Structure 1
Amino acid sequence: MTVQSLPNDDLPLPSPFNPRLETAPTQALFDKVTQWLWTGKVGAIVTGPARVGKTTALETIRGQLRDRHQRRVPVFMTSIDRLDQPSVKSLNWQLCADAGIRTTQRQTSYQLSTSFAHWLIDAAHLGGVRQIVLFIDECQRLTPHQFDAFADLYNRLRAKDRFLLTIFVGNDQETGRMDRFISSDVYAHIRGRFFRERVTFCGLRSLKEIRHCLAQYDARSHSSSHSYSFVEQVLPEARDSHFRLQDAAPIFWRVFRDYQKRYKLTDWGMESFTITTNTLLADFLPRYGLSHLSEEMVQEAVCLSGLVASQVSVRA
């Protein structure tokens, strides 16, 4: 089976980030972050396999967080750059740059940190709240000394009666080094602030979760200007039939279970699942027809999705 281009540029597929699906793991993460906010936690860490959907989940919940009075809590999210010589100053410079704060090369690390702290305080003031959340993605790239920068930020905001919750996010395959140095007594102050709370983010693990995701393709539209669902917009023949993608959930589940047993997988990462589904909708089903949806077709789409990296290849 081969992939094809879509004639209509307005079609919402394919993209591993479109549609942004509501999942049980994302809801569980939202509930946990809300609990941390409401109980006044200072920090936490979220880990999970690469490409499982951690970043997308954070982007999904960042606009939904509320304090106990149901006021929207401002959230700042950044992904740590990989640098040859990372430093506290380079970290503070990145935080300012990602926040859109104007800086100069002459500014010291302290001045950069102060500028970013003031930016956070202003965000809280504009929102009429006292809490702010930081999502720090790719945290495994941080050095031990760079974690002190976040402790300093917390202290600066607390002095202004503002409270910062910093949530570090990283790939569990790469956070072992970080765990080792954080466990040292030298960094007990960092461990106590940021690493007492830990959550593992997972992908899809059940037929029920897969059916729930596929049902969203059947029900949701990619924009308010379209009344058709994702499925109906990409596959016009589905509009006059009783085709529902969610009915294919058992096929998806059987194919994944086969991969799970052969490759000892714990779950189905959202990137792979979304690429699989989008490839079916945008390429295979338009070419071969709705009646030909089968395990073989889903297996081919899973192969292209990168669920098992060694199976990915370029095909004409």
Structure 2
Amino acid sequence: MSLHVPRPIDPSLHPLVTGNYRIATPAIETLYDLVGRCLRYRIMGALIYGPPRIGKTRAIEYVRLLLAREYPKMTSYHAQCEHKPRHAEGPFFANLLEAIGDHDPNAGSNPAKRMRVSLRIREAAARAGSGTVLLFCDEAQRYNENEYEWLRDVHDALDRQQIRLLTFLVGQQELLAQKTALQIARKTQIVARLMVEELAFYGIRDAGDVATCLNGYDQTAYPEGTQWSFTRFYVPQAFDAGYRLVNDAAVLWKTFEAAHHKASLPGNLEIPMESFARAVEIALKDSELKDAPGYCPEASLWAHAVHHCGYVQSRHAIGRVLAPA
């Protein structure tokens, strides 16, 4: 049994337990390519839209980790757009100040907050040694036209100070409708600055995507630089004998497919990263007690993991929210 095999760290500190890890999906790789394209071609803004709970927030976090590794001098921020009963200037700039690490985001008048946003970003860019800053606005469909105008003002203020701000508006499909409405209203200055590129974000859509993600568990080591991949940490004897999670890609996809059809869910199967990760975590944790040379999870364990990962329940919940009244 693998519990007797010594581990390099206390199992309670492992990222699979704390939830503090990110695995790349094909959609995340596509998003990272988009960010790279915007940097290369000096494109100032892009829209990334997709259904709720498909993994957009995790994608932002993963892309920011990659950016920090690939572009160590570049600053990036993750602003969580808040639902507000009224769209006032003060809360908008306070929210941005919080995202960029201001110690007292609610202090001062609206003009003072607005100036402080530009100042803080300029200071961060000077510290990092790069004139380019990236801002990811999560749940951006909550913005209205005024907020887009204020965001454009921030762009302009920084531009005058030779700082390039790239904005990525990430949210639900309504973002696309907002872009169309702004184009119809001839608000071309907002569209041309903040909404140039478009990317439809998606979940895990076939067995190949499943294999890409499972391979992440087989390859990602913790602690970094050791031989302890996530898979090996939980089933070291099976892993050392040749088992890899990626071997089960087709089985796991078919199991999700069966759950999708059994629940009579509409549309094609598209697995959100949250549900997928939970299914893999359940399978690995339950496999730990059965680990042995030659072990591999049975189909019934994958069925158990998919049943308890929340996929069907979350799809039903989204269906209720999106259903017409």
Q: Distance in 1 between matches of 2:65 and 2:225?
A: 23
Structure-1 residue corresponding to 2:35? 33
2:256 equivalent in structure 1: 256
Q: 1:163 to 1:225 in 2, by over 3 A?
A: closer
Q: CA RMSD in A?
A: 3.0
- Equivalent in 266, 273, 278 of residue 276 of structure 2: 273
Q: Does 1:299 align with 2:303?
A: yes
- Other-structure match for 1:77: 78
2:311 partner SS: coil
Q: In the alignment, is the contact (CA less than 8 A) between 2:81 and 2:143 conserved in 1?
A: yes
Separation in structure 2 between the aligned mates of residue 190 and residue 176 of structure 1, nearest angstrom: 13
CA distance in 2 between counterparts of 1:134 and 1:23 reads: 22
For residues 104 and 218 of structure 2, the distance between their equivalents in structure 1, rounded to whole angstroms, comes to 47
Closer, same or farther: CA 145–303 of 1 in aligned 2, 3 Å:
same
**1:304/1:39 CA distance change after superposition, 3 Å:** same
Label 1:32 to 1:233 Cα distance change in 2 as closer, same or farther (>3 A).
same
Q: Indicate if the aligned counterparts of 1:46 and 1:201 stay in contact, CA closer than 8 A.
A: yes
CA distance in 1, matches of 2:113, 2:81: 16
Q: Give the structure 2 partner of residue 125 of structure 1.
A: 126
Q: How does 1:10-29 map to 2 (within 5 A)?
A: 10-14=13-17, 17-29=19-31
- Greater fraction of residues in helix: 2
Q: What amino acid is the match of 2:167? A: T
Structure 1 counterpart of 2:238: 238
Give the 3-state SS of the residue equivalent to 1:76 in structure 2: strand
TM-score by length of 2: 0.81
Instruction: Work out the CA distance in 2 between the residues paired with 1:168 and 1:8.
Output: 37
Aligned length: 302
| Aligned equivalent of 2:5 | none
Q: Deviations over 1:242-287 (max 9, x none)?
A: 322211111012223334555323522211111110011113x245
1:42 is matched with 44
TM-score normalised according to structure 1 size: 0.83
What is the 5 A alignment of 1:9-158? 9-14=12-17, 17-65=19-67, 72-103=73-104, 107-158=108-159
Residue 90 of structure 1: CA displacement? Answer: 0.5
Alpha-carbon separation, structure 1, partners of 2:126 and 2:151:
20
Q: Distance in 1 between matches of 2:151 and 2:42?
A: 16
Residue type of the alignment partner of 1:55: T
Q: Equivalent of 1:282, from 266, 281, 285?
A: 285
SS in 1 for 2:98: helix
CA contact (8 A) 1:52 1:270 kept: yes
Query: Given the superposition, is the C-alpha separation of residues 86 and 249 from structure 1 closer, same or farther in structure 2, using an over 3 Å criterion?
Result: same
Relative to structure 1, is the Cα distance of residues 187 and 226 closer, same or farther in structure 2, using a 3 angstrom cutoff? Answer: same
Q: Which residue of 2 aligns with 1:203?
A: 203
Give a deviation string over 1:96-150, Cα, whole Å, max 9, x none.
1232324476622221111110111122222322221111001011122111111
1:309 aligns with 2:313: yes
Q: Distance in 1 between matches of 2:116 and 2:229?
A: 45
CA separation of 1:84/1:197 partners in 2, compared to 1, >3 Å: closer, same or farther? same
Rate the CA distance shift 1:216–1:310 in 2: closer, same or farther, 3 A. closer
Distance in 1 separating the partners of 2:169 and 2:24:
22
Contact 2:232 2:239 in 1 (8 A): yes
Maintained 8 Å contact 1:275/1:305: yes
Kindly indicate whether the alpha-carbon contact (under 8 Å) linking 2:235 and 2:291 is maintained by their aligned counterparts in 1: no
Kindly provide the amino acid, as one letter, of the partner of residue 269 in structure 1: P
Percent of pairs identical after alignment?
A: 24
Q: Summarize the Cα distance change of 1:9–1:312 in structure 2 as closer, same or farther, 3 Å threshold.
A: farther
2:270 aligned partner, one-letter code: D
8 Å Cα contact 1:80/1:141 also seen in 2:
yes
Query: Which has the larger displacement, 297-306 or 135-144?
Result: 297-306
Q: What residue identity is the alignment partner of 1:101? A: D
- Structure 1 contact 71–129 (Cα < 8 Å) conserved: no
What SS does the aligned partner of 2:222 have?
coil
